[in-house]
Amino acid sequence: MKAIASIPVGTFRRVLTALSAAAAASVLALHSPAHGATPAPLPADPAGTVVTLPAASPHWVWVNDFVFPHMTDGQARLIDGDSGRFLGMLSTGFGFTRIVLGKDGSVIFSPETYFSRGTRGTRTDVVSLYDPVKLSAVGEIVIPPKRASNMPMMADSELTDDGRFLLIYNFTPAQSVTVVDAHSRTLVGEIETAGCALDFPTGPRSFFSICGDGTLLNVHLDDTGHATTRERTARVFDVLSDPATEKGVRLGNTWYFVTYSGVLYPVEITQKGLILGKRWSLINPADQAEKWRPGGLQQLAVHTGLNRLYSIMHRGGPETHKDPGKEVWVYDLARHSRIQRIAMKNDSGAIQVSRDAKPLLFSIFIESTTLDVYDATSGAYLRSVENVGTTPTIMVVP
Amino acid sequence: MKWLDSLTENSTRAIAKRTSRRGFLGSLGIFLVGASRLPLLPVARGQAAEKPGAAPKAAAHSDKSPADNSQDPTSCEYWRHCAIDGYLCGCCGGSQNSCPPGTEQSAVTWVGTCHNPADGRDYVVSYNDCCGKSTCGRCLCNRNERDTPLYVPFESNDYNWCSGSSKANIPYHCSTARIVGVAK
Amino acid sequence: MPNLSRRWHWVGLLGVVLAAGWRAASGFEPQTNYMLQCMGCHTPDGSGEPGRVPSIKETLAPFASSPDGRRFLIQVPGASQSTLSDAELAGLLNWMIQNLSVPKPAHFMPFTGAEVTGLRRTPVVDVQGTRRRLLQSLHLGRAISRASLSSPN
């Protein structure tokens, strides 16, 4: 008693008050809430939960990003064009160009380069295989460590038309194409394509490369993926005065290429071989006088159902064929005429159009981290998605 | 890419817009000083080529004094940089003709010709890359009016030329601008 | 600028003959042309890059001594697709033989513009195979092991 008596009365009262308040609070907490009282605590989240992708939508878009300031950290990043949601990504190594979506939707192929110590050491090139729903690595195929390291192009790697063979362009500086059997997931071999670059599929067992003299190298494969014939066509492109860019797009049996000045070269796949169709300019004389010309890194897109060609356009002199533009011009491929000018919200350096019946038009620019989305039929601006990459380059749609 | 701009000296987006082309490394809009104002002797190319020793090209190509920055190796307007496309090794611990410490010089490269206003000669300039470390990130400079697509490799800026060399088949770090001879 | 008033329809099938000499002259001396068109890959003395770019020092003169070899020197894509006139390509090949060859040939038959014109329009497609066969036929065994490209898988 003597101990209690020695505590000052004021302190005792404060302690009692605090204890009473705590007791009251805990009494309240133990009871179910009524009329605005504190709800029950949230349950703990289970550990190890990993999202898998929902059913694929044709309005998804893969933004390929070689992350130029940190090129060992290449990435492919998936955006839902309708919701604007960032769905996930793949980490894809050094000097990354693009992923290639397997045609049956069961796998994603990604030609990649790795050094054993990040920025030095032994170089290994692989085609990584990714599960398209889990976005996890499920395997790899080692390929010759020669894949071209360049400004990303769609034609750096493509599947043959039936999805059986994956083609990868090599530059050491000798030029060749590596062939991978996409079904058995094995390396077939390498086809020398001396003097010619990239790979443009033309059928289940054929592709062409573009050669430095403006001819095409037409390559046929057998069912094992080995080359049976390699033949040069006559000259198609005018390399000296108005070269076609490498940024061709395919619609049906035609590859469309555009030159620095805006002339469209249709290369048609026929039974007789590759034929240059009628060339026409995307720029009428009045617009030529205003110095309009195509530009960009992924400057063309097509939509099969609408039979339309889309091209990024800017005003600039010669040698501006890689400049971005603030407009996308749309052409009716049957009538060879421009039907629409879409004003872009921001500089556009790369465009892509989804393949469905209500297509979206996607636009990015390597100096920007924003993806802009438009209605590809009306040209109406729909939405923007931020932080889609560091140096976004070219886009792939399902 | 504002954050990247702030990391790089003397870079502005306005300067980037004046640059006439974008090559492999030149698309990022982070430039030192921009447009090609110096008299440029193009890589020989058919009708477009001009024979060296012909009438001075300075008047046709330049609208400012050729002495401005043309002798400064850390400037994008340095006379040798008429066809460069990359980070300047002079800003990365090397110089216009030497690689920074610990990098490897790629022997395989692409080559241009540039006019030196100081002595009036046209020189063949080899843009050997220095390789083996991640990109230097300083002094990105891109100037070239004769770029060709990937299928004409020897005039194409769009290749990573580090990968063309057996010794330097490793990541790109920066670019030099080596004189290899007089263009005559 | 393309003439938009004319309808172009150009059938690009095999066998269509190219107009001869469609490239204009660069105006440079052969050594400068070597620097601009070849040196970037073949390196200043022609040594190339082991396993990537073959050395041309040992093979220039021997190739120039046979019809098949001369055809190869003109038709290999690096030569045929260079942006030089036919006469300049001939001059460049002659300069290379005289200045890069190891050992230097005592004599060789110089290339002419006409010879280049006749052969240049058909670039070699099977470069590695053609070169290998040439090396074998010219009994250049040691040159094969030193100078060969890595072969495809």
Residue C68, domain CATH: 1.10.760.10
Report the range of poorest mean pLDDT among A271-280, B25-34, B153-162, C81-90: B25-34
Enumerate residues 39 to 78 of chain B having a beta carbon within 8 A of any beta carbon in chain C: 43-47, 49-52
Answer yes or no: is C91 within a domain.
Answer: yes
Mean pLDDT of chain A: 93
Answer yes or no: is C14 within a domain.
Answer: no
Answer yes or no: is C123 within a domain.
Answer: yes
Mean pLDDT of chain B: 68
**B17 vs C129, higher pLDDT:** C129
Domains (ranges, CATH) in chain B? 2-46+57-182 (2.60.30.10)
- Among chain B residues, CA nearest to A387: B1
Please give the Cα distance from A178 to B151 (Å, whole number).
17
Q: Which residues of B touch A367 (CB under 8 A)?
A: 1, 13, 16, 27-29
Nearest by CB to residue A192, choosing from C8, C18, C152, is C152
Per residue in A166-190, pLDDT (tens digit) is 999 999 999 999 999 999 999 999 9
All chains having 3 or more CB pairs closer than 8 angstroms to chain C: A, B
Answer yes or no: is C48 within a domain.
Answer: yes
Q: Which residues of C touch A215 (CB under 8 A)?
A: 123
In contact, B126 and B109? CB cutoff 8 Å: yes
Answer yes or no: is C10 within a domain.
Answer: no
All chains having 3 or more CB pairs closer than 8 angstroms to chain B: A, C
Mean pLDDT of chain C: 81
- The per-residue pLDDT for A18 is 56
| Domains of chain C: total | 1
Instruction: Tell which of A65, A66, A67, A68 to mutate to test the B interface (max B CBs under 10 Å).
Output: A68
Cβ neighbors of A170 (< 8 A, separation 6 or more) are A144, A146, A147, A148, A176, A177, A178, A190
Peptide bond into C103 cis (omega under 30): yes
Per residue in B56-109, pLDDT (tens digit) is 333 223 333 445 688 898 899 999 988 887 899 999 999 999 999 999 999 888
Separation in Å, CA A77 to CA A85, A311, A369, B59, C19: 11, 23, 12, 48, 48
Answer yes or no: is C25 within a domain.
Answer: no
In contact, A233 and A273? CB cutoff 8 Å: yes
Pairing relationship of beta strands A350-353 and A337-348 according to DSSP bridges: unpaired
In contact, A16 and A9? CB cutoff 8 Å: no
Catalytic residues of B: 110, 129
Judge whether residue C74 has pLDDT over 50: yes
Please give the Cα distance from C34 to C44 (Å, whole number).
8
Q: Which residues of B touch A171 (CB under 8 A)?
A: 153, 159, 163-164
Per residue in C4-42, pLDDT (tens digit) is 222 323 333 333 333 345 577 789 999 999 999 999 999
Cβ neighbors of B68 (< 8 A, separation 6 or more) are B77
Please give the Cα distance from B130 to C125 (Å, whole number).
33
In contact, A254 and A268? CB cutoff 8 Å: yes
Instruction: Check the CA dihedral B16-B17-B19-B23 and report its sign.
Output: positive
Judge whether residue C3 has pLDDT over 60: no
**Per-residue b or e along A349-360, where b marks 16 or more CB atoms closer than 10 Å to that residue's CB:** bbbbbbeeeebb
Q: How confident is the model at residue A23 (pLDDT cuts 50, 70, 90)?
A: low
Cα–Cα nearest to B51, from B174, B171, B184: B184
Would you call A198 an interface residue with chain B, using a CB distance cutoff of 8 Å?
yes
- The per-residue pLDDT for A372 is 98
Answer yes or no: is C38 within a domain.
Answer: yes
pTM of structure: 0.84
Per residue in A27-49, pLDDT (tens digit) is 555 555 555 679 999 999 999 99
Residue with tokens 């800017």: A314
Residues in chain B: 184
Answer yes or no: is C39 within a domain.
Answer: yes
Q: How confident is the model at residue C148 (pLDDT cuts 50, 70, 90)?
A: very low
**B23 vs A368, higher pLDDT:** A368
Please give the Cα distance from A161 to A303 (Å, whole number).
17
Judge whether residue B38 has pLDDT over 50: no
Contact: B150, A317; criterion CB under 8 Å: no
Q: Please give the angle made by the CA atoms of A99, A250 and B155, to the nearest 5 degrees.
A: 75
Judge whether residue A345 has pLDDT over 90: yes
Cβ neighbors of A46 (< 8 A, separation 6 or more) are none
- The per-residue pLDDT for C2 is 33
Domains (ranges, CATH) in chain A? 97-235 (2.130.10.10), 241-398 (2.130.10.10)
**In DSSP terms, which residues pair with C49 in a beta bridge?**
C53
Q: Which residues of A touch C127 (CB under 8 A)?
A: 192, 194-195
Percent of chain B with pLDDT strictly greater than 70: 60
- The per-residue pLDDT for A14 is 60
Burial class (CB in 10 A: 0-12, 13-18, 19+), A336: middle
Contact: B163, A198; criterion CB under 8 Å: no
Q: What is the DSSP string of A235-264?
A: --SBTTTBPBPS--EEETTEEEEEBTT-EE
Tokens standing for residue C150: 């890595």
Distance from CA of A259 to the nearest CA of C (A): 11
Q: How confident is the model at residue B31 (pLDDT cuts 50, 70, 90)?
A: very low
- The per-residue pLDDT for B110 is 84
- The per-residue pLDDT for B84 is 82
Judge whether residue A360 has pLDDT over 90: yes
Residue A41 in 3-state DSSP? coil
DSSP code for C24: P
Please give the Cα distance from B28 to B135 (Å, whole number).
13
Cβ neighbors of A286 (< 8 A, separation 6 or more) are none
Q: Which residues of B touch C46 (CB under 8 A)?
A: none
Residue with tokens 């250049």: C140
